[in-house]
Amino acid sequence: MRYTGRTLGLFTFMILLFVGIGYLIGGFFMGNWILGTLIFLIIAAVMNLVAYFYSGKLILKMYKARIIEEADNPRLYNIVKKIAMDADIPMPKVAIVPTQMPNAFATGRNKEHAVVAATQGLLALLNDEELKGVIAHEVAHVKNRDMMIMSVAATLAVAIGFMARMVWFQMFFSRRRINPILLVVMILAPIAAIMIKLAISRKREYFADEEGAKISKNPGALADALESLHYQNKKNPIKGGSPATSSLFIVNPFASGSFVKLFSTHPPMEERVKRLRKMATDYSYL
């Protein structure tokens, strides 16, 4: 509940920020704040619908993920089947990504259309208990509708950035006197939207770690897997793909310097592992 409450609070702030910018744009450029707000709410709604229905297919295509059946990889397929059963969700589709970079992600618009994907490198690196922990983390994302939550958050952030760019364009070509309040808002709003999106992503990662550990009943194995994946991905980051999709993966697969870490979609690995190690000494989740 604490993660859900914080996520709802962050979403509320982001939506209010979005509506506030629509209000300012409508009043400054259109002379009608209601019209400005409605226009940008419609834009956000359309972007969310597109993301909701098509983002999963685009992600699978981007990483060349192949949907498999049990005969293709009985080990992975049966682990996903068992974890999904323990989590009380419909069996998701299973996919393998043809890369030696060890990682995993979940995608799809809801529980009935979910896909859990693992890379070839992940299957080669982890033992069965560690693999169960990773799959349980991804199934937790499916169970808690995190793909939809992150799609909406990302769409709102993109829409706010689009609004800001439009205002800059209008200010550049308009002969009207620049409103200093609107100018400050247009500078800070996209940064605030990105930070809120990242905060939501980090909260959901902690939640998926905790929920995944409960589903697999082995937080220590998930902690071991995360440490291995963090080391391997840091040593050999993925080539190709888009950094915009980094929040989907269980660990960030892209190269990151100290500045990029400030805007990371994932919480610090040390803290994630610390929380799981603490769970391992507390059997109340069993």
Average pLDDT, 10 consecutive residues per value, the chain (286 residues):
63 75 73 77 76 81 94 98 97 96 91 94 97 97 84 72 72 64 74 79 91 95 96 85 79 67 77 94 70
State both tokens at 72.
């293709």
CB atoms within 10 A of CB 255: 13
**CB contact at 8 A, 74 and 84:** no
Asked if residue 57 belongs to a domain, the reply is: yes
**CB contact at 8 A, 251 and 230:** yes
CB atoms within 10 A of CB 36: 22
Looking up tokens 């905060």, which residue turns up? 199
Asked if residue 262 belongs to a domain, the reply is: yes
**What is the domain count for the chain?**
1
CB atoms within 10 A of CB 19: 17
What is the reported pTM?
0.80
Amino acid at 60: L
**CB contact at 8 A, 150 and 100:** no
- Give 13's contacts (C-beta < 8 A, 6+ positions apart): 196
C-alpha 66/C-alpha 243 separation (Å) is: 21
Asked if residue 13 belongs to a domain, the reply is: no
Which pLDDT value is given to residue 215?
96
In the chain, the DSSP E strands lie at 66-68, 93-97, 104-107, 115-119
Asked if residue 181 belongs to a domain, the reply is: no
The question of whether 138 is a catalytic residue gets the answer yes
Strand partners, 118: 96, 104
State both tokens at 164.
């800001």
Which pLDDT value is given to residue 33?
73
Which pLDDT value is given to residue 221?
96
Which pLDDT value is given to residue 285?
60
Asked if residue 12 belongs to a domain, the reply is: no
In 69-114, the DSSP E strands lie at 93-97, 104-107
**CB contact at 8 A, 17 and 189:** yes
Which pLDDT value is given to residue 7?
62
- Distance, C-alpha 190 to centroid of its chain: 18
Q: Could you say which of 69, 70, 130, 138 is catalytic?
A: 138
CB atoms within 10 A of CB 202: 18
CB atoms within 10 A of CB 113: 16
State both tokens at 187.
């500078």
CB atoms within 10 A of CB 199: 18
Which pLDDT value is given to residue 120?
96
Asked if residue 184 belongs to a domain, the reply is: no
C-alpha 7/C-alpha 25 separation (Å) is: 27
DSSP symbol at 63: T
Asked if residue 23 belongs to a domain, the reply is: no
CB atoms within 10 A of CB 80: 28
Amino acid at 126: L
C-alpha 27/C-alpha 154 separation (Å) is: 26
Domain range for 92 is: 52-157+190-285
CB atoms within 10 A of CB 154: 23
CATH number at residue 133: 3.30.2010.10
Asked if residue 33 belongs to a domain, the reply is: no
